Amino acid sequence: MNTTLPPTVAAADAAAATETPLVGIIMGSQSDLKTMSAAAELLRQFNVPYEITLVSAHRTPHRLVEYAETARKRGLRVIIAGGGGAAHLPGMVAAFTTLPVIGVPINSAASIHGLDSILSMLQMPAGVPVATVALDGAANAAVLATQMLALSNARLHDVLEKYRASLKDKVMRTIEELRK
Ligand code: RP5
């Protein structure tokens, strides 16, 4: 466990799969953890090895560069980066790696209802994309990351098919309930 991290993040780190992580979940602040843990929960459910930690574009800029520059070598295949307010984390990470970066805009206390975070990561310059999901859309970031991995992983393709079927079942069950 990385003891330099805040306790809840360190606990999430410890709970993460022990295999080499394929997905890196990062966020700007401890205050983002509640939102971003939805991504970790789904990846755990899909049995996708991941790591989760804090990397702040503004408060730990050198850590950002190191994280992004070493990500591919360490075995990561996708990075999910969440941030609120002036959410420069996903864009700056994307600037230092060619791995796909999925951005999660967060409606944090410091945000202008999240619009600032959305625009910070959505309007990337040509050549350095960030795949931005919905406001607080950490779960969809995990699904999208798994879809990317499933392009070359039959087990994950199967997992995603079953996940989609479970979503449909839930809707169908509610339709049945409403008919009663
Ligand atoms: C961003 O500033 C973080 O991603 C967070 O959403 C926001 C506020 O951070 P704290 O002041 O709560 O640490 O960098």
Domain map (residue ranges) of the chain: 7-153
CA 66 to chain centre: 18
Residue 13 marked in a binding site: no
Which ligand 1 atom is the nearest neighbour of the CA of 83? 4
Interface pTM (ipTM) of the complex? 0.96
Nearest CA to ligand 1 atom 12: 31
Which ligand 1 atom is the nearest neighbour of the CA of 57? 14
pTM listed for this prediction: 0.90
Residue 59 marked in a binding site: yes
| 32 close to ligand 1 (CB < 6 Angstrom) | yes
Q: 41-100, pLDDT tens digit by residue? A: 999 999 999 999 999 999 999 999 999 999 999 999 999 999 999 999 999 999 999 999
Q: 128-173, pLDDT tens digit by residue? A: 999 999 999 999 999 999 999 999 999 999 999 999 999 999 999 9
Kindly report the backbone phi and psi dihedral angles of residue 29, in degrees, each rounded to the nearest multiple of 5, phi listed first.
-155, 155
Q: Please identify, in words, the CATH class of the domain defined by 7-153.
A: alpha beta
